[in-house]
Amino acid sequence: MKANVLDLPEKEYLLAGNRGCAGCGLSLAYRHILKALEGKALVTVTAGCLTVIQGMYPLTSVQVPSVNTPFASVGSAASGLVAGLRALRRKDLIVLAFAGDGATCDMGIQALSGAADRATDFIYICDDNEGYMNTGTQRSSSTPFGAITSTTPVRGNMRFAKDMPKIMEDHNIPYVCTTSSSYPLDLYEKMRKAKDIKGTRYVHLYTPCPPGWRFPTAQTVRVGKLAVETAMVVLYEVRDGVFRLTGPSKKMAEEGKTRPVTDYLRLQGRFAKLTEQDERRIQDWATRRWQGYLERDSRSKAAASDVDAQEPSEG
Ligand SMILES: Cc1ncc(C[n+]2csc(CCOP(=O)(O)OP(=O)(O)O)c2C)c(N)n1
Ligand code: SF4
């Protein structure tokens, strides 16, 4: 059954007055993630905006236990925590590894790959704010083409982002999904689903960041929604190898509609130096990728109806 905003638990596990910037997509998302897990999580987190939001010892803004770990070892730290909980026969807690896109796509990819290869029973969330935001917006391999960062200040970033969810899909793990802080119900439902699956579950979470992306703090939800409506970000899940578009992306596929990428790009100061040719390249990239997702979605539907047709009819 689909979640409704009225179904969300009232209990808060991320407290108000934390150190996130005004309009931070990550703090909005983290609130819903902890609600979906009912606070029954043992979190391991790398240095980044979430460590700051969670607070510095002896203060904390969260009501869940949390371990800070170096960038390169969050996958290994999670494996150790899973083994520790097993030894203690604690079945009530889920290990949640949480890391930014710099920590995931650049520095921690090998330990994450190893944990997935060992079928470690945990949820990994890559919080993708498309750069090293906590240290002042450096480029990561998940930064989009054309974005100005403090390490690509002149022309902007000249490479398209690494497709991290696709890399995780190729580890043949039971669950991979993409979601966004601008769609809290989509995020909540996917977290509830991930919670009940055994093995490695990978969640790629897009979180707009007002200071890093250079837009007004009141526009966070709008910017995240425009990313999806222009197909710069596509929401989907892959359950046991079966791909399907979800939520707003599924609706866009049914209606055959996407908005031009300019609607998304022009709201953000980080894209201020794009030339017309750059914009065309980004539009082509988004259109080509979207087409690929539509084809995958249709193939999955066709395969499901083939199976239905082969089922012996009752009676
Ligand atoms: C080994 C090491 N190098 C550098 C740093 C400094 N540092 C702290 S947070 C951070 C940025 C992390 O970026 P990302 O993983 O994308 O997370 P975000 O800050 O965007 O949440 C860096 C470089 C560090 N803590 N440890
Ligand atoms: S820099 Fe960006 S991601 Fe980090 S706390 Fe501020 S708004 Fe959130």
Per-residue pLDDT of the chain (315 residues; tens, 9 = 90+): 577 888 889 999 999 889 999 999 999 999 999 999 999 999 999 999 999 999 988 889 999 999 999 999 999 999 999 999 999 999 999 999 999 999 999 999 999 999 999 999 999 999 999 999 999 999 999 999 999 999 999 999 999 999 999 999 999 999 999 999 999 999 999 999 999 999 999 999 999 999 999 999 999 999 999 999 999 999 999 999 999 999 999 999 999 999 999 999 999 999 999 999 999 999 999 999 999 999 999 999 999 888 777 766 554
Q: Does the C-beta of 133 come closer than 6 Å to ligand 2?
A: yes
Q: Are 202 and 173 in contact (CB under 8 A)?
A: yes
Q: How far is the C-alpha of 155 from the C-alpha of 133, rounded, in Å? A: 19
Q: How far is the C-alpha of 95 from the C-alpha of 69, rounded, in Å? A: 14
19 found inside a domain: yes
Total number of domains in the chain: 1
Q: How far is the C-alpha of 222 from the C-alpha of 267, rounded, in Å? A: 10
How is residue 208 written in tokens? 């707009």
Query: Pocket around ligand 1: residues whose beta carbon is below 6 Å from it?
Result: 46-49, 70-71, 99-103, 127, 129, 132-135, 140
Q: Does the C-beta of 209 come closer than 6 Å to ligand 2?
A: yes
State which residues form the domain around 38: 11-306
Closest CA to 129 of 109, 149, 107: 149
Q: Collapse the DSSP code of 204 into the 3-class scheme (helix H, G, I; strand E, B; otherwise coil) and give the result.
A: strand
6 found inside a domain: no
Residue 97, domain CATH: 3.40.50.970
246 found inside a domain: yes
Beta strands in 33-112 (DSSP E): 41-46, 66-69, 94-100
Q: Which 8-state DSSP code applies to residue 178? A: E
Given the CA of residue 19, which atom of ligand 2 is nearest to it? 5
pTM higher than 0.75 for the full model? Answer: yes
CA dist list (Å): 139 to 89, 124, 212, 220, 222? 42, 22, 10, 20, 23
226 found inside a domain: yes
Environment class of 169 (CB within 10 Å of its CB; exposed 0-12, middle 13-18, buried 19+): middle
Given the CA of residue 53, which atom of ligand 2 is nearest to it? 5
Beta strands in the chain (DSSP E): 41-46, 66-69, 94-100, 122-128, 175-180, 200-206, 236-239, 242-245
Gap from CA of 127 to ligand 1 centroid (Å): 12
What single-letter amino acid sits at 306?
D
Q: How far is the C-alpha of 274 from the C-alpha of 38, rounded, in Å? A: 43
What pLDDT was estimated at residue 312?
A: 64
Q: Does the C-beta of 20 come closer than 6 Å to ligand 2?
A: yes
Q: Does the C-beta of 26 come closer than 6 Å to ligand 2?
A: yes
How is residue 274 written in tokens? 């794009």
Environment class of 8 (CB within 10 Å of its CB; exposed 0-12, middle 13-18, buried 19+): middle
Residue reference for tokens 């290990």: 95
315 found inside a domain: no
Nearest ligand to the CA atom of 181: 2
Q: Can you name the residues that pair with 193 across neighbouring β-strands?
A: none
Query: Measured over all CA atoms, what is the biggest interatomic distance in the chain, rounded to whole angstroms?
Result: 70
Give, using CA atoms, the residue closest to atom 2 of ligand 2. 209
Given the CA of residue 106, which atom of ligand 1 is nearest to it? 15
5 found inside a domain: no
Out of 50, 130, 133, 143, give the residue to mutate to test ligand 2, the one with the largest number of ligand atoms within 8 Å of its CB: 133
What pLDDT was estimated at residue 313?
A: 56
Q: How far is the C-alpha of 151 from the C-alpha of 135, rounded, in Å? A: 11
Q: Does the C-beta of 21 come closer than 6 Å to ligand 2?
A: yes
Strand ordering across the sheet containing 94-100: 66-69, 41-46, 94-100, 122-128, 200-206, 175-180, 236-239, 242-245
Strand 175-180 versus strand 94-100 pairing type: unpaired
Out of 18, 30, 71, give the residue to mutate to test ligand 1, the one with the largest number of ligand atoms within 8 Å of its CB: 71
What pLDDT was estimated at residue 315?
A: 43
What pLDDT was estimated at residue 7?
A: 81
Give, using CA atoms, the residue closest to atom 1 of ligand 2. 133
Q: Does the C-beta of 205 come closer than 6 Å to ligand 2?
A: no
Gap from CA of 132 to ligand 1 centroid (Å): 6
Gap from CA of 218 to ligand 2 centroid (Å): 14
